[in-house]
Chains A and B, each alone.
Chain A
Amino acid sequence: MKFAKLIRRNLFRNKVRAILTMLLLAVIFFFVATLLAILDNFENFSNAGEGANRLVVQSAISLANLLPYAHEEKIRAIPGVVDTAKLQWIGAYYKEKTNFFANFAVDVDKMSTVFDDYKVDPKDLAAFAADRRGALVGKDLMTRFGWKVGDRITLKRQIFPFDPELTIRGTFVHPVQTTTLFFPMEYFQQSMGNPGQVGTFWVKVKDPKQMAAISQQIDAMFKNSDYPTETFTEKEFQSNFLSMMGNVKLLFTAVSSCAIFMVILLAAITMSMSARERVTEIAVLKAIGFEQRLVLGIMLTEFILLTVIGGALGSVGAHYLYSVVDMGKVTQGFLQNFGIHAKTLAICLASSAAVGLIAGGLPALRASNLRVVDGLRRVV
């Protein structure tokens, strides 16, 4: 590129202006990248059980209604079902209400069959199975609260009237559910006076192609019982949780679009200023034989470079910030495994280039279309 130097010099001809514009873009794209990453994070959450071939059976009435144990045997008897497990969301917290994390009562003996995507050391699993009040804890949750295997912890009640008192017996690794805690279903049932009811059954299916059919079969089976069910794939189940928050996607997209629109307007002002300032210069370039298209190309390259540098500063900066700062801790567990992915980076860079093109298009076009005599005659 023999014009690289020309572009570079023009880019910084007014240092303050260039830096301010880049900063503006950096701030806005940092923000946009963050919003997109939060959306990504939510989506990731609903992909937690990908490839695990699990269905979730809950009460058709609502998640707050429980289902009787008797349902489980009937579900397990369906051909194509590998195994089932009872799982109950406890919603307890550790010390402070803001220490929010997922905790469940689970059938301990089903960890290896139904929840086989949770990687547990066999020794840990045996120790967990042997303790009526044991806990199996995600690695990240251990670090978050500074727990060690063997620690005794007490969780505080929120939904059910008992405070789980547990001993940590082991840890597990999972690609998404890194801050989950499990404890034995028997402990929950005993504390509640053995109601023989549970919130959800998790059904491991052999063949993913059968999942839809089995799900319909389960719901049909209990349709006319006192406890009708609704069966979801794990993905649907998780995204139901997200849809409960309201239309987050629409909100975030709207806010991001407004932010980018604002940047386009303000960048356009800077660029038209910068184009107006060098009218004479451009006239000279054209006079010495630069074609109109070349002038346009050079100016647009400069403007796009300006916005892309800003956008890159913001989004790549966000990427590094979030890889250094533990957002799980900052947001008290609201965002887990938070980070800016390559896809988000690409979107941000492309949008910042678009900002340069849209904002700089008209000024560049007008400047390059100028007649040489007019340009030379004009006093700026």
Chain B
Amino acid sequence: MIPIKYNIGNLTARRVSTLMTILGIGVVIAVMISMMALQNGVNSAVVSSGSKDNLMVMREGAAAELSSWVTKDAFRIIRAMPGIAKDNSGAPEISPELVIIFKIPKKDDPKGSNVLVRGVTPMAFTMRPYVKIIEGRMFRPGVNEVIVARRIRDRFVNTALGDTFQFGSTKYNVVGVFDAQATAFDSEIWCDSDFLGQARKRDAYSSVIVRPVDRAAFESIKAGIQNENRLKLDVKSEYQYYADQSNGLAGIVILVAIVTFFMTIGAILGTANTMFSAIASRGRELATLRALGFKRRTILLSVIVESAFISLLGGIAGLLLALPVNAISTGTTNFVTFSEVAFNFRINPQVALTGIVIALLAGIIGGALPAISAARMPITKALREI
């Protein structure tokens, strides 16, 4: 085996082109990682919201809460069902919620976007303990007070603590800012459900969230609601509801796939090209190694190791280049709910690792062809070259 030191020596001997290759591959991997971070951010903002333990009740055939309604009578029927968990104070863990779209001007777009406004009762916070107020206070029931997700506050006009915004004929006072740990609720505004119903003239809920005591109760409540023909309601797990919404974001998945595909091919061809140049400039050196008794296989391996090493460095450079996107917070529209999804680019360890592994693989594949041609080089011819 040729010592790795030899490869490192080679890289430093051709400093400029090594650096350029690392930077080139770095840019490719940075783009790839950013796109995966985008998908990851959107995913966590939509798909991985909601608990598998909670049941979500909506009107039959409704794809989203917006097009669903559950009458107050139906809510009372469900609340009376056996098997619903109780909180510390003994109240049943069932949360009726009213969801309405508000169009609110954005900081970078005065025409504005749709934001989901969710009317809730205090039970909604008990059932989603990760929703926490980080500034200000909770809204009071029955009045025009709202709390705003941090990500919405950052992107929309007049939604910061103490601000007032108007929608329709009603003014809403922002009394708090909340954080929902990057779930779908981080793209919402919450307020009292009775007040929202009055303000928007809606006398029904959009959905009802139920927490059953255990798995058996989960199934029995589900069956109970579905078999009750009067209700005409559908039940799925809260988790499933959000997972189904990924349809509205199919465009992003396609885009990430296209970018990753082309960028990988780019990285492979890029490394192949550099490695060909690298071995071409040291034909005599490699021939000398052969003449000294190093086997073809050893030369092959050595070139591949060098190529893998250089693209690994490229991968790491790419990760470093991509890290700043981690802080970017932006938005897109979920075409199932027709409302804003605020999300952060999220580079998690898995995304970072994927990027680096792709770089490494591109290096190995890209290095293979030059390595073969280096190993096959006839000794005498290469030694005679000037």
A contact set with B: CB distance below 8 Å: 14, 16-17, 20-21, 23-24, 27-28, 30-31, 34, 60-65, 97-98, 157-161, 240, 243-247, 255, 258-259, 261-263, 265-266, 268-270, 272-273, 276-277, 331, 334, 379-380
Q: Give A60 to B364 CA distance when docked, in angstroms.
A: 57
In the A-B complex, the 8 residue pairs with the smallest Cβ-Cβ separation, listed nearest first, are A244-B333, A246-B332, A265-B24, A31-B262, A24-B269, A273-B277, A262-B27, A266-B270
Whether A63 lies near B338 (C-beta < 8 A) is: yes
Q: Give A160 to B67 CA distance when docked, in angstroms.
A: 7
Whether B280 lies near A14 (C-beta < 8 A) is: yes
A-B contact pairs, 26 of them (CB 8 A): A17-B273, A17-B280, A20-B273, A20-B276, A21-B273, A23-B269, A24-B266, A24-B270, A28-B262, A62-B338, A64-B114, A65-B101, A159-B63, A161-B60, A161-B62, A243-B111, A258-B28, A262-B266, A266-B273, A269-B21, A269-B24, A269-B274, A269-B277, A270-B273, A270-B277, A331-B254
Q: Give A273 to B21 CA distance when docked, in angstroms.
A: 13
Taking the nearest CB of chain B, how far is it from the CB of A18, in angstroms?
10
Query: Which residues of chain B in 247-293 are interfacial with respect to chain A, using CB atoms and an 8 Å cutoff?
Result: 247, 250-251, 254, 258-259, 262-263, 265-266, 269-270, 272-274, 276-277, 280-281
Whether B263 lies near A259 (C-beta < 8 A) is: yes
Whether A255 lies near B35 (C-beta < 8 A) is: yes
Chain A positions within 8 Å of B258 at CB level: 31, 34
Q: Contacts A20-B272, A246-B333 given: A30-B262 contact, CB under 8 Å?
A: yes
Asked if B55 is an interface residue, CB under 8 A from chain A, the answer is no
Q: Give A246 to B45 CA distance when docked, in angstroms.
A: 15
Whether A273 lies near B281 (C-beta < 8 A) is: yes
Most chain B C-beta atoms within 10 Å of own C-beta, residue among A28, A160, A379: A28
Q: Contacts A270-B277, A273-B280 given: A255-B259 contact, CB under 8 Å?
A: yes
Q: Contacts A61-B103, A161-B61, A240-B111 given: A258-B333 contact, CB under 8 Å?
A: no
Q: Give A102 to B360 CA distance when docked, in angstroms.
A: 44
The majority secondary structure among interface residues of chain B is helix
Q: Which residue of chain A lies nearest to B101 when distances are taken between CB atoms in the complex?
A: A62
Q: Give A65 to B102 CA distance when docked, in angstroms.
A: 10
Whether B333 lies near A16 (C-beta < 8 A) is: no
Chain B positions within 8 Å of A14 at CB level: 280
Q: Which residue of chain B lies nearest to A236 when distances are taken between CB atoms in the complex?
A: B111
Chain A positions within 8 Å of B103 at CB level: 60-62
Query: Which residues of chain B in 1-38 are interfacial with respect to chain A, using CB atoms and an 8 Å cutoff?
Result: 16-17, 20-21, 23-25, 27-28, 30-31, 35
Q: Which residue of chain B lies nearest to A242 when distances are taken between CB atoms in the complex?
A: B333
B contact set with A: CB distance below 8 Å: 16-17, 20-21, 23-25, 27-28, 30-31, 35, 59-63, 66-67, 101-103, 109, 111, 113-114, 167-168, 247, 250-251, 254, 258-259, 262-263, 265-266, 269-270, 272-274, 276-277, 280-281, 330-333, 335, 338, 373, 386
With A17-B277, A245-B332 given, can you name 12 additional A-B contacts, CB distance below 8 Å?
Answer: A16-B276, A31-B259, A61-B168, A244-B114, A246-B332, A246-B333, A247-B330, A259-B263, A265-B24, A277-B280, A379-B386, A380-B386
Chain B positions within 8 Å of A27 at CB level: 262, 265-266, 269
Whether B266 lies near A259 (C-beta < 8 A) is: yes
Taking the nearest CB of chain A, how far is it from the CB of B281, in angstroms?
7
Chain A positions within 8 Å of B281 at CB level: 273, 276
Chain A positions within 8 Å of B250 at CB level: 98, 334
Whether B254 lies near A255 (C-beta < 8 A) is: no
Q: Give A62 to B28 CA distance when docked, in angstroms.
A: 40
Q: Which residue of chain B lies nearest to A156 when distances are taken between CB atoms in the complex?
A: B61
Whether A20 lies near B269 (C-beta < 8 A) is: yes
Whether B338 lies near A158 (C-beta < 8 A) is: no
Q: Which residue of chain B lies nearest to A16 when distances are taken between CB atoms in the complex?
A: B276
Q: Which residue of chain B lies nearest to A265 when distances are taken between CB atoms in the complex?
A: B24
Q: Which residue of chain B lies nearest to A28 when distances are taken between CB atoms in the complex?
A: B266
Q: Give A16 to B273 CA distance when docked, in angstroms.
A: 9
Whether A262 lies near B270 (C-beta < 8 A) is: yes
Chain A positions within 8 Å of B276 at CB level: 16-17, 20
Q: Which residue of chain A lies nearest to B66 when distances are taken between CB atoms in the complex?
A: A64
Whether A157 lies near B61 (C-beta < 8 A) is: yes
Taking the nearest CB of chain A, how far is it from the CB of B339, in angstroms?
8
Whether B113 lies near A97 (C-beta < 8 A) is: no
Chain A positions within 8 Å of B67 at CB level: 158-161
Chain A positions within 8 Å of B17 at CB level: 269, 272-273
Taking the nearest CB of chain B, how far is it from the CB of A93, in angstroms?
10
Chain B positions within 8 Å of A246 at CB level: 330-333
Chain A positions within 8 Å of B62 at CB level: 161
Q: Which residue of chain A lies nearest to B64 when distances are taken between CB atoms in the complex?
A: A159
Q: Which residue of chain A lies nearest to B337 when distances are taken between CB atoms in the complex?
A: A64
Q: Give A16 to B377 CA distance when docked, in angstroms.
A: 15
Q: Contact check: which of B31, B63, B247 meets A255 at CB < 8 Å?
A: B31
Q: Contact check: which of B254, B331, B373 meets A334 at CB < 8 Å?
A: B254
Most chain B C-beta atoms within 10 Å of own C-beta, residue among A247, A273, A379: A273
Q: Which residue of chain B lies nearest to A330 when distances are taken between CB atoms in the complex?
A: B254
Chain A positions within 8 Å of B21 at CB level: 265-266, 269
Q: Give A21 to B333 CA distance when docked, in angstroms.
A: 39
Most chain B C-beta atoms within 10 Å of own C-beta, residue among A21, A244, A263: A244
Whether A64 lies near B338 (C-beta < 8 A) is: yes
Taking the nearest CB of chain A, how far is it from the CB of B8, in angstroms?
19
Q: Which residue of chain A lies nearest to B321 when distances are taken between CB atoms in the complex?
A: A258
Q: Give A11 to B111 CA distance when docked, in angstroms.
A: 54
Taking the nearest CB of chain A, how far is it from the CB of B296, in angstroms?
19
Q: Contacts A31-B262, A246-B331, A246-B332 given: A61-B167 contact, CB under 8 Å?
A: yes
Q: Give A263 to B263 CA distance when docked, in angstroms.
A: 11
Chain B positions within 8 Å of A259 at CB level: 28, 31, 262-263, 266
Q: Which residue of chain B lies nearest to A359 when distances are taken between CB atoms in the complex?
A: B20
Chain A positions within 8 Å of B66 at CB level: 64
Taking the nearest CB of chain A, how far is it from the CB of B21, in angstroms?
6
Taking the nearest CB of chain B, how far is it from the CB of A269, in angstroms?
5
Whether A97 lies near B269 (C-beta < 8 A) is: no
Chain B positions within 8 Å of A272 at CB level: 16-17
Chain B positions within 8 Å of A17 at CB level: 273, 276-277, 280
Chain B positions within 8 Å of A240 at CB level: 111
Whether A24 lies near B273 (C-beta < 8 A) is: yes
